Structure 1
């Protein structure tokens, strides 16, 4: 079971990081090409700003999952610093579970928004892409973040048990 979960984690991490890298690459290439074409040829790509914006939106939501996995999200850890280590771990675990619940709720409402956008049939101005594809970044990113926060809570639980066992033998 642990081997299976480790493999899923590695695959998910690879997909998240690769997606973010590709989205950033697309945004940079399109932006540089648009600026170069404007500067040297006086030609602008009408869709460049839109594609760059949508790439960055997706990058931010998927990047949020990477941040959740690595514990890089903003947190207030003053209370954790003054509490005993075991209680600090429990507090961090509770915070991770609250974050997981919050992002799961955002994913749910994101799906509702995507469903509505799909029914409306709205398309983007320049690219004429269905807008639900852009809005799909919300439930996708929030679902990934929720999974990563639960993963952190489980890891913190394991660490807390190890810490408690070490304190009882000391």
Structure 2
């Protein structure tokens, strides 16, 4: 599980970094091509970056599909649980399990439909317009991301069944930053500031 968790996180980060870098390079290329310096302008005009927008879109689609699975695992997805929270604990558990299993079923169905679509697409010669990549490779994000999301729903359901806990995302938490250390550092800074003002 740790290997899959890290692979998922690294893949999302890699896709996001690649999309950002390609977009930045394409924008700089576009504006630098308009600079009235003949040597630079001639060199940049020869570089074809018409593929950048298409690749960025595909990278963001893949990132969104795998990011959705990460959201299920880490509890980031928004949920409306006002009615569920008003139920008795026993009934709450039943409704939470129904919703998790429904999520697993739905994403499993989407993954299967996506796999059938990709299989049909792989039997054709259809390619993307700029990159000329086979379109079935682009659409592989649907079954892979959906099946991973379905697996994450089942994983959360199993954990909830055993422990009664759902993953919760703390929006105030910053990775690598300890809250107590941050509070101590802030109070030390305030104390130093007061001493400096008195001097």
TM-score using structure 1 length: 0.86
- Of residues 32, 49, 55 in structure 1, which corresponds to 2:24? 32
Matches within 5 A, 1:28-107: 28-42=20-34, 43=45, 45-107=49-111
Other-structure match for 1:166:
none
Please list the CA deviations of residues 16-46 of structure 1 after superposition, one character each: whole Å capped at 9, or x if unmatched: 1100000001100000000001111244610
Which residues of structure 2 form unaligned runs of 5+? 35-44, 166-199
Q: Distance in 2 between matches of 1:90 and 1:159?
A: 14
Please, what is the CA RMSD of the aligned residues? 1.4
Instruction: Write the distance in 2 (CA, Å) between the matches of 1:101 and 1:74.
Output: 19
Q: Distance in 2 between matches of 1:54 and 1:62?
A: 13
Aligned counterpart, 1:167: none
Figure out how many residues of one structure are paired with residues of the other and give that number: 153
2:17 pairs with 1:22: no
More relative contact order, 1 or 2 (CA 8 Å, 6+ apart) = 1
Deviations 1:88-128 (A, max 9, x none): 12211110000000000000000011011111121001110
Residue 71 of structure 1: how far off its partner (Å): 2.2
Structure-2 separation of matches of 1:114 and 1:74: 30
TM-score, normalisation: structure 2: 0.73
> Could you tell me how far apart the structure 1 residues matched to 2:63 and 2:86 are?
36
Inter-partner Cα distance in structure 1 for 2:106 and 2:54: 29
Gaps (5+ residues) in structure 1? 1-8, 162-170
Match of 1:5 in 2: none
CA–CA distance in 2 between the matches of 1:14 and 1:145? 15
1:96–1:152 Cα contact (<8 Å) kept: yes
